[in-house]
Structure 1
Amino acid sequence: MLNLERLRTLDALARHGSVSGAAEGLHVTTSAVSQQMAKLEREVGQQLLAKNGRGVRLTDAGRLLAEHATRILSQVELAQADLEAQRGQVVGELRLGAFPTAARGLFPAALCHLRDRHPGLRVHTAEMEPAAAVRAVLRGDVDLSVVLDWYNKPLPVPDGLSRAAILDDPADVAVPAAHPHADRTEADLEDFADDDWVTWGEAQFCDEWLLDTLRSKGVEPRIAHRAEEHATQLALVAAGLGVCVAPRLGRGPLPAGVRTVPVRQVVRRHVYAVWRADADRRPSIRAAVDALRTVGARIV
């Protein structure tokens, strides 16, 4: 009989494309992946992996079995969800991912909410950017992720995922205290056409949104600095080195020397949760969505 954990290893190899990628996705060593695959090859009596330069590739038999493994693991997920639903208890393990400001702004209160109401549930979290978070849910590396898109730039969500809105997160423009617009009650993005901009990492989803949005308003932004974390962006603004878009979720107190100006045509991020549709009936998923929505409602 085929071993489920070895099929899970084969599935991870097919999805990640390498032994190291599979090991990272499964949170095991590369040696453990190789050992599981060697055992699976002995189990089926066929070669499933072949050398490909310094890496490996799946043989025809490996690809065939990997396709079956994907379907088998999906059925196992459905069985687990149905059993949890029948039992009606929020227990077991739940893995959550979120982009950094959601991890900071939502997770502490939401996890306390879950701990107080469902002490039998063990929750593990990780920070990840929205596109990577969607891929992690599809791969099964996490059970649920908190992701975002912008009011004018949706994030593609593949088939097979369910989603639930958590909150809409307004964003302001953060400027140095000495900026000519620092004391305005509102402004348009194009009012900052002559400023240097502090933005996210190149080609990140939010960076692409900012560039596309400014260009749609006839502004070619001067990108002076790039930083992953909003705290770093605000520190650069405080030093008088540019302006940035500053969403409110997880923002915390502003550094000295920084002011925020609301945008006249409100700029918002849509924050929502995504999970695999075959896990829809899991009470732990529903409990996590409820906790996130409860915290999101308080923030709004």
Structure 2
Amino acid sequence: MLNLHRLRILREIDQRGSVSAAAKALWMTPPSVSQHMTALESETGVAMLERVGRGVRLTPAAKRLVAHTERMLADMERAEAELAAAREEVAGPLTISAPSTAARAIVVPAAVELAAAHPALELTISDIEQPDSLVELRSGHVDIAIGLEYTFTRAMEHGGFDIEPLLSEPVYIAMPANHPLASTDVRLTDLRNERWFAARGPNPCRDAVLRATAYAGFEPRIELLSTIDYQLTLAAIDAGLGVSLVPHLALSGDYANVVLKPLHDLPLRRHIFAALREGSRTSPQIAAALDAMKRAADGLAAGFHEAAA
């Protein structure tokens, strides 16, 4: 009979790309991981790993076995969720990862509600972002990964995850108040000669800038600032140093010299979702957290200004 622990290790090697990275994620030593793979090969009579330069990769047979492993683990998630539902209280550990804007506006208000309603729930909020958060979700180190997708971008493959939409928010072009276009309707094509700010890649926020400008027919001149911190981006725009795309939830702080404009040729939105391991949706901890985050997101949506001044 196949050893589920060894199948988890095989899947981790597939996700992380190396024995050493899988060992680190599993709190094991590389020799121990290698020993388990040798044992798995002995049990199955099939090679699991093959050498590629100084590293390894899964054989085609091992890839097929990982696909079966995903289905088995999803069934285990469902079984664990059903057992947890038999308990009378929502209790135990729960880890949610989220980018800072979503964490501040959605996860933190949900945490306040959860602490009052379910004091035995042990909630941890992490700032791991895509794509790393999805690897940690699949590995079991995170239970809910809050993710982002923009108009014209697809930030992740949804296979193996259950996806719960939370919020769709407007995205604006942020520019200095003294910009010549600050008092007129703005089209993305009008900004082809501007200095742009964008997040470090790979990142859905950076992809949004690159794909939106490509749709408009130009490559942005990204200079001076490369950060995932929207407050730093807004401060640089406030100082007159450039322009950027900014989602509604990033608008905290007082930036008197920043003007936010909708794009008339390309209405952009940022979609915020919760990614779960397949089969875990009915877990009482996860269900309670999702319900609380949806209530927080619904409250935010009611206050959006779809057109900026």
- TM-score for the superposition, normalised by structure 1: 0.81
Quick one: structure 1 residues 236 and 43, their matched pair in 2 at CA, closer, same or farther if it must change by over 3 Å?
A: closer
Quick one: structure 1 residues 57 and 295, their matched pair in 2 at CA, closer, same or farther if it must change by over 3 Å?
A: same
Quick one: structure 1 residues 88 and 280, their matched pair in 2 at CA, closer, same or farther if it must change by over 3 Å?
A: farther
In 1, are the aligned partners of 2:6 and 2:40 still within 8 Å (CA)?
no
Quick one: structure 1 residues 202 and 82, their matched pair in 2 at CA, closer, same or farther if it must change by over 3 Å?
A: closer
Q: Distance in 2 between matches of 1:203 and 1:299?
A: 28
- How far the C-alpha of 1:85 sits from its partner, in A, is 2.4
> 1:232-243 maps to which residues of 2 (within 5 A)?
232-243=232-243
In 2, are the aligned partners of 1:134 and 1:157 still within 8 Å (CA)?
no
Q: Which residue of structure 2 lines up, in the alignment, with residue 195 of structure 1? A: 194
Q: Distance in 1 between matches of 2:152 and 2:68?
A: 39
- How far the C-alpha of 1:17 sits from its partner, in A, is 3.4
Q: Distance in 2 between matches of 1:51 and 1:154?
A: 32
- How far the C-alpha of 1:231 sits from its partner, in A, is 1.9
Q: Distance in 2 between matches of 1:65 and 1:190?
A: 49
In 2, are the aligned partners of 1:6 and 1:37 still within 8 Å (CA)?
no
| Letter in structure 1 aligned against 2:272 | V
User: Do structure 1's residue 272 and structure 2's residue 276 form an aligned pair?
Assistant: no
**Structure 1 unmatched ranges of 5 or more:** none
| Letter in structure 2 aligned against 1:221 | P
**Structure 2 unmatched ranges of 5 or more:** 302-309
| Letter in structure 2 aligned against 1:138 | R
Structure 1 stretch displaced more, 206-215 or 132-141: 132-141
Q: Which residue of structure 2 lines up, in the alignment, with residue 112 of structure 1? A: 112
Quick one: structure 1 residues 267 and 71, their matched pair in 2 at CA, closer, same or farther if it must change by over 3 Å?
A: closer
- How far the C-alpha of 1:50 sits from its partner, in A, is 8.1
Cα-to-partner distance string for 1:52-98 (whole Å, 9 max, x where unaligned): 57666779998898777655544432221110123363222212122
- How far the C-alpha of 1:255 sits from its partner, in A, is 3.2
In 1, are the aligned partners of 2:90 and 2:284 still within 8 Å (CA)?
yes
Q: Which residue of structure 2 lines up, in the alignment, with residue 216 of structure 1? A: 215
Q: Which residue of structure 1 lines up, in the alignment, with residue 304 of structure 2? A: none
1:147 match: secondary structure: strand
Structure 1 stretch displaced more, 55-64 or 80-89: 55-64
Q: Which residue of structure 2 lines up, in the alignment, with residue 286 of structure 1? A: 287
| Letter in structure 2 aligned against 1:289 | L
1:263 match: secondary structure: coil
| Letter in structure 2 aligned against 1:174 | A
Q: Distance in 2 between matches of 1:208 and 1:59?
A: 32
| Letter in structure 2 aligned against 1:232 | L
- How far the C-alpha of 1:166 sits from its partner, in A, is 0.8
Quick one: structure 1 residues 232 and 141, their matched pair in 2 at CA, closer, same or farther if it must change by over 3 Å?
A: same
1:87 match: secondary structure: coil
1:163 match: secondary structure: strand
Q: Which residue of structure 2 lines up, in the alignment, with residue 138 of structure 1? A: 138
- TM-score for the superposition, normalised by structure 2: 0.78
Quick one: structure 1 residues 181 and 244, their matched pair in 2 at CA, closer, same or farther if it must change by over 3 Å?
A: same
Cα-to-partner distance string for 1:34-65 (whole Å, 9 max, x where unaligned): 44765896899779998957666779998898
Quick one: structure 1 residues 22 and 168, their matched pair in 2 at CA, closer, same or farther if it must change by over 3 Å?
A: same
User: Do structure 1's residue 174 and structure 2's residue 170 form an aligned pair?
Assistant: no
Structure 1 stretch displaced more, 148-157 or 10-19: 10-19
Q: Which residue of structure 2 lines up, in the alignment, with residue 296 of structure 1? A: 297
Quick one: structure 1 residues 59 and 260, their matched pair in 2 at CA, closer, same or farther if it must change by over 3 Å?
A: closer
Q: Distance in 2 between matches of 1:195 and 1:63?
A: 46
In 2, are the aligned partners of 1:162 and 1:276 still within 8 Å (CA)?
yes
Q: Which residue of structure 2 lines up, in the alignment, with residue 80 of structure 1? A: 80
1:279 match: secondary structure: coil
In 1, are the aligned partners of 2:231 and 2:250 still within 8 Å (CA)?
no
2:142 match: secondary structure: coil
Q: Distance in 1 between matches of 2:63 and 2:192?
A: 52
Q: Distance in 1 between matches of 2:275 and 2:139?
A: 13
Cα-to-partner distance string for 1:203-252 (whole Å, 9 max, x where unaligned): 53322222222232234422223222212222221232211111121431
Q: Distance in 2 between matches of 1:190 and 1:60?
A: 46
